[in-house]
Amino acid sequence: MENIFASVPDAFHHEVVDELLNNSSVRVERILSKGHSSDEDFWYDQAENEWVVVVRGAGTILFADDREVHLHAGDYINIPAHTKHRVTWTDPDVVTLWLAIFYP
């Protein structure tokens, strides 16, 4: 048995991504952020769909069409494959814990 809140550091220099599950049909990642954001010239453009929920903390996702979505604990969003997006802000004072599920 594992716990999604286990081994969450108080401070870290880079975003932490832990793969929790990976099989032929789904990949689940726990992502930890604390004041982290994507580089200004970087866009995620993934071949898979991504369903993401903020379990704790808060973050902002910017889409290439200039749509901006602010997510707080409990908020989730589905991002279709090849929808360009990036993280522009995460709470600098609290570890933001994202749960991302990637699927075909």
3-state secondary structure 42-102: CCECCCCEEEEEEEECEEEEEECCCCEEEEECCCEEEECCCCCEEEEEECCCCCEEEEEEE
pTM: 0.93
Q: Which pLDDT score is estimated for 98?
A: 98
With cut-offs at 50, 70 and 90, classify the pLDDT of residue 15: very high
User: Above 90 in pLDDT, residue 11?
Assistant: no
| Residue boundaries of the structural domains of the chain | 16-103
Cα–Cα distance for residue pair 62/77, rounded to 1 Å: 12
Q: Which pLDDT score is estimated for 10?
A: 81
Q: Which CATH number fits domain 16-103: 1.10.540.10, 1.10.1740.10, 3.30.70.20, 2.60.120.10?
A: 2.60.120.10
